[in-house]
Chain A
């Protein structure tokens, strides 16, 4: 987890509220990713970024938005949280060579 932090680490929220998760890196890596991990589904890519202000959708992007205004920060926003978004969220970074390095994760519960 060195060089990658996620905040908050745990969050409980109610359906319909907005939620923002933050990923911060000190490695100056170009690529950043947001995944969710659920039993039976494994790791699924939500959104990723290939540079400041450059983002693209992953396979499960509905209900999520992202922003990257600085190299070191990648924000994931749930505009109106639903119970189906209860999950563990991981941020990852990469220099682009194929390998990714993961943060410690955020456990989100939507009641």
Chain B
């Protein structure tokens, strides 16, 4: 079993929909949780960063961490065609060699006009 599980999709939604992307993990030592967005033929770019549990909101994006369930989510409100990309979750325990990120495989999202 992988340390981080992420449904690869693809996920296809109409413009304006609310999108929910999720990852589950097994390592209870993870403290740092990130979502990256990757457009085709580009490098991943950091979208959201959360330390420990709770919610974080940035514009149309909300990241949630539920450490008791070992589950993280990214919500996209009022989705736009420009949100079409692959979304990768990543996490780490944060100290020493545990600064290494453990990655999900990514979920491919298509937002249709």
Contacts and interface: CB of A to CB of B under 8 A. Distances in A.
B42 A94 contact: no
B10 interface: no
A94 B99 CA distance: 9
Interface residues of A, number: 22
A48 interface: yes
Contacts, number: 51
B43, B45, B92, B97: residue with the most chain A Cβ atoms closer than 10 Å: B43
Interface stretch (A13-21, A39-47, A60-68, A75-83): A39-47
Contacts of A101: 46
A42 B100 contact: no
Interface of A: 1, 31, 40-43, 45, 48, 56, 58, 90, 94, 96-105
